[in-house]
Amino acid sequence: MKKISGFRLVVLGVFSACLLVVYALLSTPEGVQAATHSRIHPITAPSSTSRATRYAPAAQALRSNNLQTARQLLEEVARQYPDEAVRARLLAGFYAYEAGDAHLAEQLLTQASEPGGEIEDWRLWLLAETAQANDDLDVARTTLDRLLADCRRSPLRPQAYLAAARLANKAGDERGTLALIDGARSEKVKGETAIELENMAWRIGQQLNDEGVRREAARRLLVEAPMTAGALGVASTFRAIDGSIDWSRVLSSGEVKQRARSFLDIDQMTMAIDTLDDVPEAERDTEWHLIKARALTEARRGEDALSVLSAIAPQDPAEQASVEWERAVATRELASSGRDETERRSILEASHRHLANMVRLGADAEISTKELKLLYKDFLEAGLFPQATDALRILRRVDPADATGIRDLWERGWEAYGRQELDKAVTFWQ
């Protein structure tokens, strides 16, 4: 059986959700629909002119997993109400796609064109998917081109660029593939999608022996995916005759900083620190110092991180807030390095002061939920309950859905209650 990609599963999930909403909207009259389910009746013409009534039997059939009946009911809607034909075929195409009938889905989705429609991008995406499943690769490519040309605000654009580039590359259309990759670059496509596209560009540059294509892909991979770049050996493109690389001639200072961030994202702290050292002294701005401090902290070198932060002269409250956040995190790291209980508590209190300063400044900082959870845990273990509560409040503001501390505080409250420490129990629960 052909493996379904993660993104395709997402598409299926989104479409299923969209269809359920559509069915609910179309088949639920005003007011609350009765919760009882009626049997599917033989196909009959809708008895009302309302759109809800027209689509209700098809929606009911779908709920009962009777896709064939649902499609026939939609055909009847299209026959009796010509102005609804496109919408009915669109829903029928979704049904067929959901049922895994790629040939029928392609046929129906082709007939259901609705330029400017609210979900025209999804129709085109599924049409391309079904055409590809049916080995109609030219249709798939043309359809994806239409999606990219007509649906400028679609969230599917990054995946459409990738799918179109894969098909163009498979067809041996190297220049067409590169044009699609350039389009994705111009729209600042990021993440794994961008990495695969740049990997493709690098390989095409190799095939065509095109130095310009190769160098541009290499530069982008070095910044966004340094480990992939290492595996491909792209740095060799920039080596001098003596084997050295002058990074200042390859990447801008901003790109070097982003490369360091990419290393941090994959827990390569030493590589991040070494990368930052390639930035000339004169270009080491506040952002450089903040990234360097973070790398040092994550490398368990909190004292060195604080030394780097002391060299910063913040220019505005936002920069000052970022510095205070990094100081809070670096100071917390110091407390985990073999200190006695009294000293550890004192250091954590200092960490909290930096955290409080960040909040007082009222400016946004690049806050890590992971570090906030560690701060909460360390404050609580050191008996610094008000400080732990402050960390939780900030965490809730950064991520309202986070449940850190709920069970822990609830259990601590019961423990205090069992010791007859009622005031403390109430404090924990509050």
pLDDT in tens, 151-180: 999 999 999 999 999 999 999 999 999 999
Average pLDDT over residues 76-86: 70
Q: Which residue has the higher pLDDT, 208 or 123?
A: 208
- What does the radius of gyration of the chain's CA atoms come to, in whole angstroms? 29
Candidates 286, 273, 288; CA nearest to 321 is 286
Helix and strand numbers (H, E) in the chain are: 22, 0
User: To which residue do tokens 């070198």 refer?
Assistant: 301
Question: Mean pLDDT over all residues of the chain?
Answer: 80
pLDDT category of residue 59 using cuts at 50, 70 and 90 = low
What percent of the chain clears pLDDT 70, i.e. is strictly above it?
80
Residues whose CB is less than 8 angstroms from the CB of residue 176 and which lie 6 or more positions away in sequence, other chains included = 168
pLDDT value for 361: 86
Q: Which residue has the higher pLDDT, 2 or 322?
A: 322
Average pLDDT over residues 109-127: 80
Average pLDDT over residues 397-412: 75
pLDDT value for 111: 72
Interior CA angle at 398 toward 397 and 402, to 5°? 90
Average pLDDT over residues 276-284: 89
pLDDT value for 16: 46
Average pLDDT over residues 88-105: 74
User: To which residue do tokens 């990738």 refer?
Assistant: 162
pLDDT over 90 at 137, yes or no: yes
Lowest mean pLDDT segment, chosen from 62-76, 259-273, 317-331, 350-364? 62-76
pLDDT over 90 at 429, yes or no: no
User: To which residue do tokens 């993440």 refer?
Assistant: 191
pLDDT category of residue 341 using cuts at 50, 70 and 90 = confident
pLDDT value for 20: 46
Give the pLDDT confidence of 193-247 residue by residue, as tens digits. 999 999 999 999 999 999 899 999 999 999 999 888 888 888 888 877 777 777 7
pLDDT over 90 at 66, yes or no: no
User: Quick one: 420 exposed, middle or buried, by C-beta within 10 A (0-12, 13-18, 19+)?
Assistant: exposed
Residue 218 and residue 225: Cα distance in Å, rounded?
Answer: 10
pLDDT over 70 at 25, yes or no: no
Average pLDDT over residues 313-338: 88
Q: Which domains does the chain have, with CATH numbers?
A: 1-31+38-134 (1.25.40), 156-234 (1.25.40)
